[in-house]
Amino acid sequence: MCNQRVYHSSFVNTEGILHACGCPLLPLKSHIRGPAPTAEPDKVDIIDEAITFFRANVFFRKFDVKSSADKLLIYLTLYVNMALKRVENCRTEAEGTKAIITLGLEIFPIPGEPGFPLGGLFTPPLSQEEGELLRSYLKQLREETSGRLMERAYHRNGKQNKWWVAFSKRRFLNLAFS
């Protein structure tokens, strides 16, 4: 495994994109309301990358950040891991959906608050407005990621996809959301 490299985000150039706490507010293919700009439906967004790279990246204990979008990729990888842990014991899609909705309603920390696992990666907000902007963006990201993840975590017949849920046991960068 020493010769393998983590997958990085393709969103290297974030020039002209609004940032909050050192995090780019990248466009999303989402119907969920929030501050994210709208991405073109036929293009890959950061959530697509996070879910696509999750099963490969989750094996790594180190991640060399090459762009500000990589910070978001790390955050989403941790979130996918946490979401899979929540649905791990939910045998049906209905149970899993309930667990994911509950997760989406939970209050979560942002940089500068206790319990935020990536404190050294993101800067604390300089103002209350910046903090609320990032919280809104992360909430939108989490909700959209949860919906897309459910499509992978469960088969069309409503039964759990063990080839996805088994990755809930892995710890990316030896970190976890509290």
CATH code of the domain in which 157 resides:
1.10.1760.10
- pLDDT for 83 beyond 60: yes
pLDDT of 13? 86
In a domain, 163, yes or no: yes
Residue 3 within any structural domain of the chain: no
Task: Please determine, for residue 178, whether its predicted confidence score (pLDDT) is greater than 70.
Answer: no
| Contacts (Cβ under 8 Å, ≥6 apart) of 82 | 103, 176, 177
Q: Take residue 55 and report the two structure tokens written for it.
A: 């099963």
pLDDT tens-digit readout, 116-132: 988 889 999 999 999 99
| Residue 6: pLDDT over 80 | no
Whole-structure pTM value: 0.91
Total domains, the chain: 1
Contact indicator for 93, 158 with CB cutoff of 8 Å: yes
Q: Does residue 1 sit within a domain? A: no
Q: Does residue 77 lie within any of the structural domains?
A: yes
Per-residue pLDDT band at 174 (split at 50, 70, 90): low
Residue 7 lies in a domain: no
Which domain covers residue 78, as residue numbers? 19-174
pLDDT band (50, 70, 90) for residue 57: confident
Contact 11, 69 (CB under 8 A): yes
pLDDT at position 138 over 80: yes
Q: Examine residue 5 and state whether it is found in any structural domain, yes or no.
A: no
Is residue 13 a part of any domain in this protein? no
The pLDDT of residue 2 = 44
Does 148 map to a domain?
Answer: yes
